[in-house]
């Protein structure tokens, strides 16, 4: 237990909490990963599976994490320890919280490197580097960035300092303030981008690519990717929403707020797709470019179109804002845990956590250049050719997030008392019964089935 005399911090209002939660969930996942994964998996079929995963798996787990956090009022590990202790369940449930903190650490280490790419691209956009680029030189720009350990390390360091700078300020002074200013700005920027995309000749093609499912393109891998992404984009399975819930007051309606966050997160991902694919198609480019989609394909379009300088800056600033409000949420549970478990102050804990994450990030930086030939688990067929960065991404999104999410929903659905859940969630009895049935059966079976199927595939 903490020796410090402070009472546990709280969000200042429901709206502040909502913005912070949306800030966490809307991130690189929405603007970078979702469009490129959709492109790689052939469009609407992926989107359809992803939407089902959000509704039947993401939403119940989001509500569960907030509820557990609010009941425990501590860092995710102590929260799980305390609630399982009170219910006389195995103390091993604390491992779920611990796995979450570890996962947040792993994710942030590579998230910050990608956030650094976004910063570098803001600089390229401002200095009009995209103007007049052709297919080869745009690839050269991206490749040149990835090949340079010092450039990547520099941008990664700046991004980490930005993250630490906000988290040091605490819940109200740091997390809330950042979300309140950055999220509305992000919404406006994205809307402008979509309106612009709507004027391009490829809009209809882009929109139907995103929204018309071609089910023949579905594979086991696509379904696992959609599941992993549903966790990633809602910030689930890593104790983050549990940590956010621990600052939540009793009068906030968890169900309604969770639906709002899931809808906003999904709408923003779809808007990112609606902004990006029409531009890609209007310029005759390839939607299936993979992780380079927004760093290669889009700049090429910005370089060719009129107003491209302006929209290029807009887009990459938006990307930085999205990444920033998410990275602060990844650092928060680590800091909360360190602060409560060690004698460190908030400032000390934030700096220590930031430094440790920065250090691990160096492995991701090197994955793109000096260590690009290093494939640590390459002897196993499923990890063949995977760099350290690929492994971190795979291990977290496709394994740790689903597994801790599964453990969380089983704990809530099968080990907690129905009455307590009912009081906590404060829903009408009809809505509660539906939620309870989904959470006990559909969600865990869905996660387990997709997980096993995807791994065997
Ligand atoms: N949800 C964020 C995104 O879409 C990333 C993120 C923030 C995250 N916190 C997380 C992912 C916790 C998994 C777990 O970019």
Q: Could you read off the pLDDT of 89-127 as tens digits, one per residue?
A: 988 999 988 898 899 999 999 999 999 999 999 999 999
Task: List, for residues 426-436, the tens digit of each pLDDT value.
Answer: 899 999 999 99
Tell me the three state secondary structure of residue 344.
coil
User: Mutate which of 23, 25, 179 to test ligand 1's pocket (most atoms within 8 Å of Cβ)?
Assistant: 25
Mean pLDDT within 386-398: 91
Task: List, for residues 159-186, the tens digit of each pLDDT value.
Answer: 999 999 999 988 778 888 888 888 888 8
Residue 1 has pLDDT above 50, yes or no: no
Residue 2 has pLDDT above 90, yes or no: no
Phi-psi category of residue 237: left, alpha or beta, with phi > 0 → left and psi -120 to 50 → alpha: left
Question: What pLDDT sits at residue 457?
Answer: 66
Q: Nearest Cα to 234, choosing from 10, 390, 438, 34?
A: 34
- pLDDT range class, residue 224, cuts 50, 70, 90: confident
Between CA 282 and CA 295 the distance in angstroms is 17
Phi-psi category of residue 43: left, alpha or beta, with phi > 0 → left and psi -120 to 50 → alpha: left
Residue owning the nearest CA to atom 9 of ligand 1: 235
Residues across the chain: 457
How confident is the prediction for the chain on average, in pLDDT?
Answer: 90
How far is it between the farthest Cα atoms of the chain?
A: 66
**Residues lining ligand 1, Cβ inside 6 A:** 24-25, 27-30, 104, 107, 232-233, 235, 238, 240, 326, 329-330
User: Ligand 1, closest atom to CA 322?
Assistant: 15
Residue 5 has pLDDT above 50, yes or no: no
Tell me the three state secondary structure of residue 339.
helix
Label residues 110-140 b or e (16+ Cβ within 10 Å = b): bbbbbbbbbbbbbebbeeebbeebeeeebbe
Mean pLDDT within 269-275: 94
Residue 451 has pLDDT above 70, yes or no: yes
Q: Nearest Cα to 101, choosing from 71, 77, 73, 67?
A: 77
Question: What pLDDT sits at residue 84?
Answer: 93
Question: What pLDDT sits at residue 3?
Answer: 39
Helix then strand count (H, E) for the chain reads 23, 0
User: Mutate which of 320, 330, 400, 408 to test ligand 1's pocket (most atoms within 8 Å of Cβ)?
Assistant: 330
Between CA 367 and CA 363 the distance in angstroms is 6
Question: What pLDDT sits at residue 175?
Answer: 83
Task: List, for residues 140-159, the tens digit of each pLDDT value.
Answer: 999 999 999 999 999 999 99
Task: List, for residues 303-339, the tens digit of each pLDDT value.
Answer: 887 888 998 999 999 999 999 999 999 998 899 889 9
Mean pLDDT within 25-52: 92
Question: What pLDDT sits at residue 6?
Answer: 44
Specify the pTM.
0.90
Q: Which of 120-134, 192-206, 346-360 has the highest mean pLDDT?
A: 346-360
Ligand 1 centroid distance, CA of 303 (Å): 30
CB 163 within 8 A of CB 112: yes
- Torsion angle of the four alpha carbons 346, 352, 356, 361, in this order, in degrees rounded to the nearest 10: 70
Ligand 1 centroid distance, CA of 135 (Å): 31
Express as a percent the part of the chain with pLDDT over 70. 98
CB 41 within 8 A of CB 280: no
Query: Where do we find the tokens 């909490």?
Result: 17
């Amino acid at each position: 237990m903490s020796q410090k005399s402070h009472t546990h911090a709280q969000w200042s209002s429901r709206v502040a909490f909502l913005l912070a939660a949306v800030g966490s969930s809307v991130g690189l996942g929405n603007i970078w990963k979702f469009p490129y994964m959709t492109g790689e998996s052939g469009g609407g079929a992926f989107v359809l599976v992803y939407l089902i995963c959000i509704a039947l798996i993401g939403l119940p787990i989001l509500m569960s994490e907030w509820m557990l956090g609010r009941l425990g009022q501590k860092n995710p590990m102590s929260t799980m320890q305390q609630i399982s202790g009170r219910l006389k369940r195995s103390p091993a449930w604390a491992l779920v919280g611990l796995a979450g903190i570890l996962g947040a650490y792993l994710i942030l280490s590579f998230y910050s490197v990608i956030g650094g790419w976004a910063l570098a691209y803001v600089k390229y956009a401002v200095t009009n580097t995209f103007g007049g680029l052709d297919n080869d030189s745009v690839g050269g720009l991206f490749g040149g960035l990835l090949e340079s350990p010092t450039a990547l390390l520099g941008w990664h360091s700046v991004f980490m300092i930005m993250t630490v700078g906000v988290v040091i300020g605490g819940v109200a002074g740091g997390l809330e303030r950042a979300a309140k200013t950055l999220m509305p700005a992000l919404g406006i920027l994205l809307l402008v981008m979509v309106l612009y995309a709507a004027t391009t000749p490829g809009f209809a093609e882009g929109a139907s690519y995103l929204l018309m499912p071609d089910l023949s393109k579905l594979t086991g891998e696509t379904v696992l990717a959609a599941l992993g992404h549903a966790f990633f984009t809602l910030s689930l399975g890593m104790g983050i929403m549990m940590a956010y819930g621990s600052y939540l007051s009793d009068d906030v309606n968890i169900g309604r707020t969770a639906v709002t966050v899931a809808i906003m997160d999904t709408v923003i991902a779809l808007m990112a797709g609606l902004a990006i694919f029409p531009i890609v198609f209007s310029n005759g480019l390839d939607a299936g470019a993979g992780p380079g989609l927004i760093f290669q394909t889009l700049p090429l379009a910005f370089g060719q179109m009129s107003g491209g300088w302006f929209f290029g800056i807009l887009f990459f600033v938006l990307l930085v804002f999205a990444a920033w409000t998410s990275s602060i949420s990844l650092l928060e549970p680590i800091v909360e845990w360190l602060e409560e478990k060690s004698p460190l102050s908030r400032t000390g804990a934030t700096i220590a956590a930031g430094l440790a994450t920065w250090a691990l990030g160096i492995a991701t930086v090197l994955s793109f250049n000096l260590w690009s030939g290093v494939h640590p688990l390459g002897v196993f067929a499923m990890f063949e050719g995977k760099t350290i960065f690929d492994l971190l991404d795979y291990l977290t999104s496709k394994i740790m997030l689903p597994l801790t999410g599964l453990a969380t929903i089983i704990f809530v659905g099968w080990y907690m008392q129905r009455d307590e859940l009912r009081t906590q969630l404060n829903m009408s009895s009809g809505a509660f019964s539906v939620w309870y049935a989904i959470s006990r059966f559909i969600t865990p079976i869905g996660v387990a089935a997709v997980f096993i199927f995807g791994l065997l595939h």
